[in-house]
Amino acid sequence: MNFVEELRWRGMVHTMMPGTEELLEKEMVTAYVGIDPTADSLHIGHLVSVMILKHFQRCGHKPLALVGGATGMIGDPSGKSQERNLLNEETLRHNQECIKKQLSKFLDFESDAPNRAELVNNYDWMKDFTFLDFARTVGKHITVNYMMAKDSVQKRLNGEARDGLSFTEFTYQLLQGYDFLHLYETKNCKLQMGGSDQWGNITTGAELIRRTNGGEVFALTCPLITKADGTKFGKTESGNVWLDPRYTSPYKFYQFWLNVSDEDAERYIKIFTSLTKEEIDALIAEQREAPHLRTLQKRLAKEVTIMVHSEEDYNAAVEASNILFGNATSEALKKLDEDTLLSVFEGVPQFEVAKTDIEAGIKAVDLFAEKTNIFPSKGEMRKMVQGGGVSLNKEKLTAFDQMITTADLLDEKYLLVQRGKKNYYLIIAK
């Protein structure tokens, strides 16, 4: 497979240094992408560069994932209007281990293949570098004029924030440039890849290598992903969509992809899956013929959920979705863990009742029309039960005065009541 061609049809090439393609055709190339370790999980904003590394390895080249332990302590000014918080070493090491575990779902770190992936941390070669050494080894090769001309610097100096730029952040491009130099000298790394906002930092590294030892290296950036409406990709109202199930449940993760627009689904399925061009073209054609079936969104959500989580998590997410929108059974409902249950029914009206009431046994009509106001009156509830319009935990209620006990509780504290087809209520026994 030709790496650049693969990225091109996927819409993943923004800018590329001349000669990059020729180099990749000639030899097995080592390339790196920097990942910021400010949290102990990646989020879907990181997925683009991770997918680039995945394609790179599939095409027979050697990927390096660089965790920016040192640079993460400073914060990259690119695209930011304020300085970052600084992290301590213990937090960085913890974050690095968690990130490696996530990356190993995408990249082969373990085999004996010559192009097996490696994880490196720039803190390891920066921590003993004195300021004097840095000033002599790196600082003297790059002029202030060259650094000032970079977009990331200009935007901060002339930007709306007008906070200016600290010296710490100003030196960021030299630190990142030195990473490239170090990896070039120690790992024969000739290519750096990243988002288009990294172009300035990457070219500083290439310039540093050229001026230090005359070496020639290359750069490739991908477009920053946005939604069709121009808003930022990967953010929801509740914040980032994380790869770690502790922060974003597999159900919510699946829902995120399932709910993207048709236009976005066409772009995202190329970027975030390893499906072939033929498969994707066929899916796009199918979607255009029958958009209401949402073929693209379903396949995109399936591929990414299985890749990041597992097939089991994907199946559970589909089952959970059916509970809300399909004809799922009470069995499926009982299988949900508490987090997923609460994710599925987030936003539905909730009522709290005393658990002692349920323990003593309570008639459905008293619980639904008195203790909670799911029904405005007992008469209305009786009519609706007779018409088969009331369900408890996805099972039709046959008698309006049916006794409800702790045996009915889901996860020992929830009851799911359905009034009509679309109205759900969650009763929480406390």
Closest by Cα among 299, 304, 267 to 286: 299
- Catalytic option among 15, 105, 187, 197: 197
Cα pseudo-dihedral 308, 311, 316, 319, rounded to 10: 120
Catalytic annotation on 232? yes
Q: For the packed helices 199-213 and 151-158, what is the interaxial angle rounded to 10 degrees? A: 130
Alpha helices in 59-88 (DSSP H): none
- Catalytic option among 84, 187, 298, 413: 84
- Catalytic option among 71, 173, 176, 273: 176
- Catalytic option among 38, 91, 137, 402: 38
Catalytic annotation on 46? yes
- Catalytic option among 235, 294, 394, 413: 235
- Catalytic option among 14, 15, 58, 80: 80
- The whole-angstrom separation of Cα 337 and Cα 342 is 9
Backbone angles phi, psi at 410, to 5 degrees: -90, 135
Catalytic annotation on 76? no
**DSSP string across 13-30:** -SEE-TTHHHHHHHS--E
- Catalytic option among 46, 182, 267, 309: 46
Catalytic annotation on 273? no
Three-state secondary-structure class, residue 219: strand
Q: Enumerate the β-bridge partners of residue 242.
A: 43
Q: Are strands 15-16 and 218-222 parallel, antiparallel or unpaired?
A: antiparallel
Backbone angles phi, psi at 121, to 5 degrees: -130, 120
Query: Which residues does 263 contact at the CB level (< 8 Å), separation at least 6?
Result: 228
Catalytic annotation on 236? yes
Name the amino acid, one letter, at 258: L
- Catalytic option among 127, 140, 210, 232: 232
- Catalytic option among 43, 294, 371, 382: 43
Catalytic annotation on 84? yes
Catalytic annotation on 204? no
- Catalytic option among 236, 329, 356, 386: 236
Residue showing tokens 């085999």: 111
Catalytic annotation on 176? yes
Mind telling me the catalytic residues? 38, 43, 46, 80, 84, 176, 197, 232, 235-236
